Structure 1
Amino acid sequence: MSPAPAPGPAPAGAPGGSGPEATRIHNIGYRGYDGPRLGRAAARQALFSQSLRGAYGLGRSAKSKVLPMLLAGVMCMPALIVVAVAVFTKASKLNVGYTEYAVYLQMVIGIFVAAQAPQSVSRDLRFRTVPLYFARPIERVDYVLAKFGAMASALFVLTASPLLIMWIGSLLAKMDFATQTKMFGEGLASVALLSLLFGGIGLVMAALTPRRGFGVAAVIATLVISYGAVSTLQGIAYGTDNPGVIKWIGLFSPITLIDGVSSAFLGGTSAFPGRDAAAPGAGAGVVYLLVVLALIAGSYGVLMRRYRKVGL
């Protein structure tokens, strides 16, 4: 029997070999996490905070801050002018009511929603990162609540800031504290409803498509074009001596819905043609309020249904 051949050198790349691709085990220092797990509430809070900051471009590029900060400045500038006039002329009341301010500047609010609602949700849809959010511990309801709450909060900051400026200015002008505070509270209630309504509608329109441009167009069509159509029809009804129809036409636009609720329950002056004669009373005001609440709840329901499908 011939003797067994002597073992040769191990080939390169084999265990124990000396080649450049020899197997080595590296200790990368990985250790398991054994600290506290914060759970769904913390994840929901983090998503809310990140979405709210993102609405104003905070934590993003400088270019992302330009439009929201510009719109915030445009929103507050008329309030500063109203306050300056009231202080220097020692007026007994402000030239613009607290509940009317958002109605006059509804174009600025609509542009803000059109720009920031798609930014909040469209990118997650476009890059298909939504299912990653729904991994443990966050769930669909947490995602929708965080996004809805953040958008509504961003709008409330935008619309309440000028009211705060007006209230402080009224006190500097030595107007009656109790009266101004009551009107300021009514104005805050009005813009809170507006923020929930516009935020919900904006997110629904933006969530229907992953394309940000389409989302922007859908939001503008819903918020701005609807107001133009309703105002035109109200003007026609007023010009043809049909004032009773004006308040019911107002049910078909988000901003006129807020205007109707404010004039019926919050002491506001309606911007409808004919003013007080066409403004909804208590009975029609209840219908307005119910429609607003139904649209807010419906927006939440549509978002839940949308993200139930997206997460699959």
Structure 2
Amino acid sequence: MPPETQTQQRAEIHNIGYRHYDGARLGRAYARRSLFSQSLRGAYGLGRSAKSKVAPMLLAAVMCVPALILVAVTVVTKQNSLPVEYTRYAVIMQAVIGLYTAAQAPQSVSRDLRFKTIPLYFSRPIEAADYVTAKFAAMASALFALTGVPLVILYVGALLAKLDFADQTKAFAQGLVSVVLLSLLFAGISLVVAALTPRRGFGVAAVIALLTISYGAVSTLQAIAWDQGSTGAVSWIGLFSPITIIDGVQTAFLGATSAYPGGFGPDAKAGLVFLLVLLGLIAGSYGLLLRRYRKVGL
């Protein structure tokens, strides 16, 4: 008997129970929300191993402990104001924020690149814009939680210390605006850097270098300019580091005291340049991410 005939005689069809899906098609919006929720939870290790929770939770605690100490000092000593302004807190704690961002931004995007799962996302009713929007929003939300909770602690403590309600509410609102801008800027920059490499370690090092080392370099140059009497250059040098850009914007528009040497932050006109640079970096980061994922999703 010919081999083809033997094969045909042995051929059988097995019903292994596959069924057509007859439920609702939830579409892109549901997929976008799910990806946002998953990414936000992952930024704090939720839904992952216990080891993955250690670093983000520890850094979140480090962000909050100084605020609790400041509140305790204010209440016990009955001071007339908080020792640290709401807008200044994130600038003081920028090293912790930088470490958190460097650890979590690569975690958010590097594994998808490393294991080449991006085309699987886009095989469903989800596009590059949906993926980028969800990841960007999740990282910014995680950073806002990290930087916003200490401000809430300071605000509650100020009210417990019976400080002026109107003044504290205004200052608290200004602080929240500041950390919203910081969260968007840090999220955008860090995700762009992390999306350039599938190796998480390289992404972590690159984000630390960009956020932390740039701040050290800018602070050094500002100190040199201040010592040489170039007070006008002090503020413009601040355009070359993410955290000093935030400092310049909040000094010009949010009533903050500048952390620049001598307190020489930008005035309203220079502050407009800082604001435009800030918004341009956020929009540019989103655009670069969109371009990157349209390419790797092929």
Tell me if both proteins adopt one fold, taking TM over 0.5 as the criterion. Answer: yes
Select 2:187's aligned residue among 185, 195, 199.
199
Q: Deviations over 1:153-179 (max 9, x none)?
A: 000000000000000000111111111
Matching of residues 119-130 of structure 1 within 5 Å: 119-130=107-118
**How far apart are residue 12 of structure 1 and its match?**
10
Q: Which consecutive residues of structure 1, in runs of 5 or more, have no partner in the other structure?
A: 1-10, 16-21
Select 1:285's aligned residue among 253, 260, 271.
271
Counterpart of 1:114 in 2: which secondary structure? helix
Counterpart CA distance in 2 for 1:180 and 1:135 is: 50
Matching of residues 228-239 of structure 1 within 5 Å: 228-239=216-227
**How far apart are residue 105 of structure 1 and its match?**
0.3
Aligned residue in 2 for 1:51: 39
Aligned residue in 1 for 2:71: 83
Select 1:165's aligned residue among 125, 146, 153.
153
More helix, by proportion: 2
Counterpart CA distance in 1 for 2:294 and 2:241 is: 28
**How far apart are residue 28 of structure 1 and its match?**
2.9
Select 1:296's aligned residue among 279, 282, 287.
282
Matched, 1:218 2:172: no
Counterpart CA distance in 2 for 1:112 and 1:131 is: 28
**How far apart are residue 46 of structure 1 and its match?**
0.2
Q: Which amino acid aligns with 1:139?
A: E
Counterpart of 2:145 in 1: which secondary structure? helix
Q: Which amino acid aligns with 1:147?
A: K
- CA-based RMSD: 1.5
**How far apart are residue 92 of structure 1 and its match?**
1.2
Q: Deviations over 1:122-145 (max 9, x none)?
A: 110000001111112000000000
**How far apart are residue 30 of structure 1 and its match?**
2.2
Select 1:186's aligned residue among 150, 174, 189.
174
Select 1:39's aligned residue among 18, 21, 27.
27
Counterpart CA distance in 2 for 1:132 and 1:196 is: 27
Q: Which amino acid aligns with 1:81?
A: I
**How far apart are residue 29 of structure 1 and its match?**
2.7
Counterpart CA distance in 2 for 1:231 and 1:252 is: 10
Q: Deviations over 1:61-84 (max 9, x none)?
A: 000000000000000000000000
Q: Which consecutive residues of structure 2, in runs of 5 or more, have no partner in the other structure?
A: none
Q: Which amino acid aligns with 1:291?
A: V
